[in-house]
Amino acid sequence: DQQVKQNSPSLSVQEGRISILNCDYTNSMFDYFLWYKKYPAEGPTFLISISSIKDKNEDGRFTVFLNKSAKHLSLHIVPSQPGDSAVYFCAASGHNDMRFGAGTRLTVKP
Amino acid sequence: DAGVIQSPRHEVTEMGQEVTLRCKPISGHDYLFWYRQTMMRGLELLIYFNNNVPIDDSGMPEDRFSAKMPNASFSTLKIQPSEPRDSAVYFCASSPTVTEAFFGQGTRLTVV
């Protein structure tokens, strides 16, 4: 039972353009959402988060949007840079539980 | 703090052998998670502990998998007997709360 879903296994964008990564969740008890970034041979590292009381959180080039009614969140990276190429995991937490999506591999082409 | 420390970084073993993965969480973190990453399923939660007590082990694939946390600074994930389909990268993570989790570098397990 996948409670957090990332339906796009991969995404390729041109340097300088916007990258949009999507994530859906099913459990309405989740109230905190995170994005992690993972480079090869390393563990995932925290990137940005959002609480369910907000619908947007921005940190530099990274913005996370939350649509609670649709149980959907997205990560926008603008402008995208080659160093952003990595696997991005969406995570949802609440009630002492944290679940991850399967990840989306982002490739930013120079 | 050095972060979450996992050992070994790589493990190659023969089918049927026992495998033990080790994790040292960040000091002061009350939560410890074990995840498995595969190409097909991404990051799967296997089990997590709160204050050394297992809270949810519903993600453990089968009885061949077991995890322990004898104290706040050490946890093990054991597979006995191991099978080729267990080959994956296993991550340990710790957290002061169930929000931001800090991951170790992972153990890449190959069962031949």
pLDDT digits (tens, 9 = 90+) for B32-72: 999 999 877 778 889 999 999 998 888 898 899 999 999 99
Cis upstream peptide for B25 (omega within 30°)? no
**DSSP for A52-94?**
TT-SEEEETTEEEEEETTTTEEEEEESS--GGG-EEEEEEEEE
By C-alpha distance, the chain B residue nearest A34 is B100
B28 shares contact with chain A (CB less than 8 Å): no
Nearest by CB: B42 against A41, A94, A103: A103
Confidence of residue A95 (pLDDT cuts 50, 70, 90): confident
Query: Which residue, B99, B49, B103, is CA-closest to B76?
Result: B49
Local structure of B110: helix, strand or coil? strand
Is the distance from CB of B93 to CB of B37 less than 8 angstroms? no
Q: Does residue B82 carry a pLDDT above 80?
A: yes
Is the distance from CB of A74 to CB of A56 less than 8 angstroms? no
**CA–CA distance, B89 with A34 (Å, rounded to integer):** 21
Residue B62: per-residue pLDDT: 85
CA distance B20 to chain A (A): 19
CA distance B17 to chain A (A): 25
Residue A38: per-residue pLDDT: 93
